Structure 1
Amino acid sequence: MANPIRPQFSYNAVWRWHFYAGLFCVPFVIWLALTGSLYLWKPQIEAWLDQPYTHLATTGPTASPDAQVAAALRAVPGSTLHKYVLPEQPDEAVRILVTKGHQDRRVYVDPRSLAILAIVNEERRPMRLIFHLHGELLAGAFGSYMVEIAACWTIVMLLTGLYLWWPRGRSGLAGVLYPRLRGGSRVFWRDLHAVSGIWVSLFALALIVTGLPWAKGWGNYLIEIRQITGTARGPVDWTIGGKAPQADALLGDHAGHGGMAMPSAPLAPGELARVIATARPLAVAPPVLISPPKRPGDPWSVTSDAANRPLRSDLKIDGRTGRLVSRIDFAQRHWIDRTIGYGVAGHEGALFGLANQILGTATALLLVVLAVSGVVMWWRRRRIGLGAPLALSRPRLGAGLVAAILALALYLPLFGVTLALVAVAEAGVRRWMPGAALWLGLRPQTAY
């Protein structure tokens, strides 16, 4: 005969881990949801910011690409050409990225008068700041690790929340798929938390998983696994820990975008114009970034930086002859890179246009509702100490649950490490720190 107490023990153990995960994750969830919502609308925000450089009033013949680059280099003395952004319209400013002191500056050049319209540090552009705030909290590698740990435990929070939400002996959909509005404040907050959780969980899990390739720990973990399994093939066009990975088998020329630029070879007159003449008819998705060779005689790199990554292409063009040396389209990449590319495009709201942006924003706002309602529930119910659900007994873990935990720890190494640290800390507090154990709800209780 089944023990009727054991389900209560299992439920309480899951509730405790849900509580711990939520307590740690809530500030990160709110922060990442808000910054991520802003980043989802990057195309519209950047188009608005670049309005002064979109339709210029100057007239006359267009200067040669070499003259445009020379003007940009004069504007930043001591710099070298990093990327030339191919203009999409004849009346817009030319964007030229030059490098000085391992920093990129975006120079806006009038293509006719060669007047310098603006010079902007690339990493201080508003959406680049949002990118770093979202992915690394402006704290470099440490911030990236913290965001990754929060992402791992948010997955735990969502999965345990689904277990706690699962209807048990309840009839009807009230409180399951929509909140009850007439049951008092306690029922309202409970239902708001549970119902928003069920509606957002699937999309939130997709957002978290597709964001992992950017994380410092998981991104490098993926690189190591791919090298071991022989699946490491470039080009890779996502950053890891806020920077492009360097000197890695996965890298292609696109990796220099967003990372430290390598010095280029001296520019030969006329080569850039020949590269542009070859690239324009090839239907490369804009924006198109043209990079000079690193060594004299090497081909130029032409890469699409389209937000919808499945549209991207990488080309090599001989600057001396204008000959197309090679072209790699998205469909030719390794299936792992294609999978990540689709995920990253969806994460950034670019995979299926405006609907993708709206869906991502709605998911982020529901996550904020989930986090805030969870905090309200905790604050209202807490009585002693931290207010954690009391530990009724030592949990008995079935083989299926152990296998699931091990699989999750293998997929998310930082989850496994932090889970072990929390378990060791909890055992130590329970044994040697009775006061802290009481405050954390770790004192043995026979009933809750």
Structure 2
Amino acid sequence: MSELLARHRAVMPSWLSLYYDEPLEITGGKGVRVTGADGRTYLDFFAGIVTNMLGYDVAEVREAVERQLATGVVHTSTLYLLRGQVELAEKIARLSGIPDAKVFFTNSGTEANETALLLATRARGSDQVLALRNSYHGRSFGTIAVTGNRSWKNSSLSPLNVHYLHGTDRDAPAFRAMDDAAYIEACVADLRDVLATAAAPDLACLIAEPVQGVGGFATPPPGLLAAYKEVLDEEGILFIADEVQTGWGRTGASFWGIGAHGVVPDAITFAKGLGNGFAVGGVVARGDLMDGLTANGVSTFGGNPVAMAAANATLDYVLDHDLQANAAALGPVVLDGLRPLTALPSVAAVRGTGLMFAVEMADPATGAPSPALAAAVQEAARRRGLLIGKGGLRGNVLRMAPPMVVTGADAREGRDILVDAVTEVDAAATA
């Protein structure tokens, strides 16, 4: 065990998990590649959990941060006017598609979702919230309460009254034989049943990820969230799109993941990629919804001048270089190369949209989800110089979300390494 790993285990909580049998310390980065303390260079296909959207050592972001640091103003709080905050809010409000939108900045996706839940429950005067099964919305008390994944829940205690809906469980026995249209019909019928039987009047909101990040990049079929929203609108229930992992064009087809469903939500939460590694998150919502809070409100660190400098530069880069188009063009390059893996006994599914891909590993003998095989593929990919993530309800799904500046050559290299790694692990599992 390395000296740093021993120190980590001595002072960090046991539940703070680390990847790999020999955990990696990253000491440098350039473009879409990082260097470890082991001296090796790796192609990074997980980007700090979908966060280093532009990769590493980006001149435009670095120079914007350096200019802000040179002013000597690292922090003021929201009690003072922050030019960078206003400029970024103007851009996000325009890009949101939400009428009369206003923006509040936080430090993370967890805080962003907490804020959105506060807005919705205050507006509706209700603690009742709808969420999807297999979802993940953060690690705080409130966001864990609306997370539909048992492996992330530490307690049944909750500040909210939560009802879980179907959305990404097409493989469940009840739905396995259905096509998309039949599944959507069944899900909408279930929503109506929940509203009629389990929920009291004036339910606050539905919060949903267009692509479930921690849930293994599982995606509701196109049109399901729009069908849900039709029912919600009948009751005045608000809709929150959790775009912490899907925003900024990553899904390729639209700037926000919710665009695939043809829905304009009442609020959108965001974080991760916007700061390209700097801590920033937030909510963009209808002005009347945002203004509905009546108690005092400030943010000590949300909208910090340095984070705003990084975020403005990052968003400008995304728009100026049309990285959404890059995601749309290169997503199929990777996904089409991964799909043949489903012929292997240990691969249960391959899925993806834009620059978000997943490979689901299963025991070749029983078909049961196999976290062990997923971990083995992670190790095999690292040996070949590729870093990937892991998730899913049962921890058996490999997740890839490379920086959105990835080139065609990078995409093909990562794809081919992953194919080799999965093939190696499958051969060992079926020998």
TM-score range, shorter chain: under 0.3
Higher share in helix: 1
- Tell me the TM-score normalised to structure 1 length: 0.25
**Which structure has the greater CA radius of gyration?**
1
Higher share in strand: 2
Instruction: Specify which structure has the bigger relative contact order, considering alpha-carbon pairs within 8 angstroms and separated by 6 or more residues.
Output: 2
- Tell me the TM-score normalised to structure 2 length: 0.26
